[in-house]
Structure formats: structure tokens, C-alpha cells
Amino acid sequence: MEQKSVFSVISPIMVGPSSSHTAGAVRLGLMARNIYKDKFKKVKFVLYNSFATTGFGHGTDKGLLAGVLGYSVDDVIIKNIFDIVEDVEYSYEYRQDISRHPNSVDIIFDDKMTVSGDSVGAGEIRINNINGFAANIDGSYHTLLLMYKDKPGMISTVSDIIQKQKVNIASLHCDRSSKGGVASMYVALDIPIGEDVVEQVKRIKDVFFVTNIRKLK
Amino acid sequence: MTILSFSELTEKCEKENKAIYQITQEEEAKLLEAEIDVVRLKVLEDLLAMKDSIKHGLKSTEKSISGWCGDDCAKLADKYAHSGALFGRVFEKITTYALATSEENLRMGRIAACPTAGSCGIVPSVIIASAEEKKISEAQQINGLLTAGMVGLIISNKVQLAGAVAGCQAECGVASAMAAAALTQMLGGDVNTVINAVALALKNILGLTCDPVCGLVEVPCIKRNAFLAIHAVTACELALCGVESKIPADEVVDTLKITGQLMSPVLKETSQGGLAKTKTALELEKVLFKK
């Protein structure tokens, strides 16, 4: 089991009223923003289960929006976020689906990328799906995400590049649609890698998407 | 942290002849790759944020969005300005501070989630009110908060601290156990006494559901913070007197987890059962959604 910090239970310092429904929502938004990176014009939130039922009362809608806009969990602006948003079209949808976690959301940017995640309690979050590929990102590590055409040798090619930077790999997860189909790889890192390294990974043959996800504070 | 149970923690403390807070700060320093002083400074930041929430909460009577809550703390403060509480100053301050923090939370003010925002009034009120009345040093308060943190951490390794997962047991219930641990530590209890206080506190919140009216962290959450802060004091008092929980803390935590699994989803932060479905709650809901 990964060692957890004592501060996961005696903090964060945040605006209320709910750590899972407000702070967790902000952090899910922040993480999705870190993954999508591009400046977006449109964002849609699909809230599930308890997020859908009681989200309104907990400021979940405000928290998610504040997060994708880059505000941190203790920013008192969250309360009035709807009053200050400009140039971004945002919408919400509410669903019940027992196959999903009680506090779950899909965040869809510009109809192009869907980031799904759960708020698992005490402000902690987990991103578990990006554009249909299983993920496991909790924001505690810098993570390199790439999507590519499944073929032998990809793991060693990527790890070689990272190895040359003398960066330690904390964990590595892969998933694929089918043999030879589209595959995804998540590399959790102890320290962040530079954009030059990301460029090198992008140049690997058959890699079609790379993003360097910064960990959450 | 790598310590996964209270029995492991007891063993480690006894073997190394250390208090829980010492083990906690050492483990955290290793995790952060920092000095122990850095860890203690971070804990102090939390403690100061908690004191700030109390300060703001005591001054404000701003109502929540619903208009139901936000001025209860002021009622206590007013009454106590003229006549003391039945159980004296410590009781008076703990209940007032718990409400001050919880009310600050519902206004979307800044608080420290400990372990969650819905339960944010419990640990701070117990630590800070007792410290003021019993002249307990800042260093001792940090020790208390570190002890509370270790307790929360061990529980959170077994069960997610979210009402949606295990009901209010896992939020205000766990906060109460954490507060009991902090207070017992600050009042000089040894490792076994601290963990015994945890077991006593937890045993008596088993089955506590999460049924907020209209899904707001208001009814019954705010007042529950005051109740479970006092609950923590009872657990501490009994433990310091040598009253032992027959069921060890680890088994109580397992029970909490299983009870959470057995609890119907309608009672787990969905507002589809319990107090949230009472006649009055449904009336409140109608009025609220008209706004």
C-alpha cells in the first residue's frame, strides 16, 4: 500500500462546505485542466449519483468550474464563480448510474476530451478514465500520459528516455483497446520532466498523444 | 504511512518508547523528505487556519444560502456572556467553537477539513478550547493534532472518510475519535490510553447515517459538530480514568467499515432517506427550490 500523508486527514485548508463535494470537485477540475492543457471554449460536466443528487447544495457545480479555471481549493472566489466567468461556455448534466462511484463526474472539454474521476473522500480524488482509457491518477505524482498504437517495445522506449533524465519512475500502468489497437500508458514520476523530454516522447513513432500532467499541491 | 493498524502503532510506540505524535512526525518527515521541524510548521499552519475559522465564525451571523443556519453560535455566545454553561468554561467554549467553525464552513468560508469539511468543527474546538482553558502550549496542541492525524490516517486506510461511502460514522464519527485522541494526548495520556479513547469514541457512533436535508451541509451537520465534540471529551475522560473498551480499536474500525457497507445508500449522503425525507424536510425543500 502506498504511504499516505497525515495531512490528507488534517487538511486541506479549503472553502466549505464539503471536502468530498466542494474541495474534491475543485481538485477534479484542476486535475482535468492539467490533463487537457489547451485553452478551452466549452466545458460540460456530467455529475453522477450523490454528486448529482446533492451537488447543488454542496457547491459541487461551482467547485468543478472553479477547478477547470485554475482556482485552488482555498480561494474564496469559488463562492461567486458564476459571476466572474467570461468566454467559457459551461453546462451541467445529472445522472444516476450505480456502476459509478457515489461521487463521480465526467468533464468534457470542447467535445474533444472526456476526463472521468471520483471524489473518494476528505478532498482526495482519483482520475480513472481519459477518453475511454482506464487511468489511475490521484494527483500525488507528476504523470506522463501517452496514447499510441499498441506494439512491442513501447514501454522500454519510453522508460529509456525518462531514464536518461535520471528521473525515477514511481509506477507505470498500460491499457489498450485491443492487440495492435490504441493503447495508453501512465508513468508516475518522482520529479517533473521538462517539455523537451515530452517532445522526445512525441517523436516516437506511432505515439499520437502525449501530455505531461503536473501533480496537485 | 506504513502503519496500518492501532495494534501495530502501539507496538511501535512501546518498542521505541515514543508517543504517537513522535512516530507520526518522523514518518511524515520521511515521506516529505524534510526535517521534523518542517512537518511541525505545516501542522502549525493547519492549527492557525483552525483558529482563524473560529475567530471569523464567532464574529459572523451571515446566514447560509438556504437561510436556515448561521446564527446559532451567536446564541451560545450571547447566553454565556450572561450566565455560564452547566458544565463550565471548557464545555462552553467547545460547543461555541464547534458551531463557529461549522457555520463558517456553510458560508463557503475558509476552514481546515479535519478529516472532512462537514466535520470541520470537532477537532479544532476540542483542541483549541481545551488548550485555552487548561493553559496547554502551542507545541502540545501540535502534538495533539499530529496524534489526531495518525488516528484518522489509520482509519482512512481501511475505510474512505466520506458520508457517501460509510455514512456520518466516517465523517463526524471519525473526527470525534481523532479529537478524543488529541485531547487525551494533550492531557498526558499514554499510547494505550489514547487508543482506548479512540475505541470508546468510535464504538458509540456506529451506525450514524448521513441524511442531510436538501443535500446541504447544514441539517443535521452543524449541530452534530457540537455534539460529537463533547462526545470526544467523554471518551477522553473515561479513558483517562482507566475505563477500557472491551472491543479493541482495530475491531471497532472493522465494524465501522462493515456497518457502512450494510447501510442503505439512501442514508449515505444522497438525501433520499432519514431526516432528509421527513415531512418538515420535504416542506423545506419545496420552499428552497422556489427561491
Q: Which CATH superfamily does the domain covering A142-213 fall into?
A: ACT domain (3.30.70.260)
Contact B114 A9 (CB under 8 A): yes
Of B117, B148, B265, the CB nearest to A10: B148
Calculate mean pLDDT across residues B145-169: 95
Asked if pLDDT for residue A2 goes beyond 90, the answer is no
Show which of residues 19-38 on chain A sit within 8 Å of chain B, judged by CB atoms.
19-20, 22-23
Of A6, A58, A119, the CB nearest to B215: A58
Residue type, B160: Q
> Tens digits of per-residue pLDDT, B48-78?
999 999 999 999 999 987 789 999 999 999 9
Specify the residue for cell string 463550565: B88
Residue % of chain A over a pLDDT of 90: 76
Q: What ipTM describes this predicted complex?
A: 0.95
Give residues with Cβ within 8 angstroms of B55, minimum separation 6: none
Contact B179, B229 (CB under 8 A): yes
Return phi, psi of residue B181, to 5°.
Answer: -65, -45
Query: In this predicted structure, what is the pLDDT of residue A25?
Result: 96
Contact B111 A14 (CB under 8 A): yes
Asked if pLDDT for residue B216 goes beyond 90, the answer is no
> What is the overall mean pLDDT for chain A?
92
Asked if pLDDT for residue B164 goes beyond 90, the answer is no
Contact B122, B99 (CB under 8 A): no
Measured between beta carbons, which residues in chain B are less than 8 angstroms from residue A76? 108-110
Asked if pLDDT for residue A38 goes beyond 90, the answer is no
Contact A12 B170 (CB under 8 A): no
SS3 A105: strand
Query: What are the residue boundaries of the structural domains of chain B, listed by start?
Result: 6-206+218-261
Query: In this predicted structure, what is the pLDDT of residue B269?
Result: 86
Cell of B243: 475505563
> Tens digits of per-residue pLDDT, B225-262?
999 999 999 999 999 999 999 999 999 999 999 999 99
Chains A and B form CB pairs within 8 A to the count of 172
Contact B117 A18 (CB under 8 A): yes
Query: In this predicted structure, what is the pLDDT of residue A1?
Result: 63
Which range is most confident: A59-63, B199-203, B270-274? B199-203
The alpha helices in chain B, defined as continuous H runs, are 6-16, 20-32, 36-59, 72-82, 88-106, 122-134, 138-158, 163-166, 172-186, 191-203, 221-240, 249-262, 279-290
Measured between beta carbons, which residues in chain A are less than 8 angstroms from residue B215? 53-58
Contact A55 B106 (CB under 8 A): no
CA angle A186, A20, B62 (to 5 degrees): 145
CATH code at B6-206+218-261: 1.10.4100.10
Residue B165's nearest CA partner among A122, A172, A136 is A122
CA-based nearest residue in chain B for residue A79 = B108
pLDDT-based confidence at residue B1 (cuts at 50, 70, 90): low
> Tens digits of per-residue pLDDT, A56-105?
778 899 999 999 999 999 998 999 999 999 999 999 999 999 999 989 99
Contact A113, A106 (CB under 8 A): no
Asked if pLDDT for residue A126 goes beyond 70, the answer is yes
Calculate mean pLDDT across residues B97-106: 97
Shortest distance between the Cα of A48 and any Cα of chain B, in A, equals 11
Contact B117 A16 (CB under 8 A): yes
Asked if pLDDT for residue B106 goes beyond 80, the answer is yes
Residue % of chain A over a pLDDT of 70: 99
pTM reported for the whole predicted model: 0.85
> Tens digits of per-residue pLDDT, A169-215?
999 999 998 999 999 999 999 999 988 999 999 999 999 889 899 99
pLDDT-based confidence at residue B123 (cuts at 50, 70, 90): very high
Calculate mean pLDDT across residues A154-170: 93
Of B42, B113, B146, the CB nearest to A123: B113
Contact B49 A123 (CB under 8 A): no
Query: Does A57 touch chain B if contact means CB atoms closer than 8 Å?
Result: yes
Contact B162 A120 (CB under 8 A): yes
CA-based nearest residue in chain A for residue B66 = A57
Cα B116 from chain centroid (whole Å): 8
Measured between beta carbons, which residues in chain B are less than 8 angstroms from residue A191? none
CATH 3.30.1330.60 fits A6-137, yes or no: no
Query: In this predicted structure, what is the pLDDT of residue A30?
Result: 97
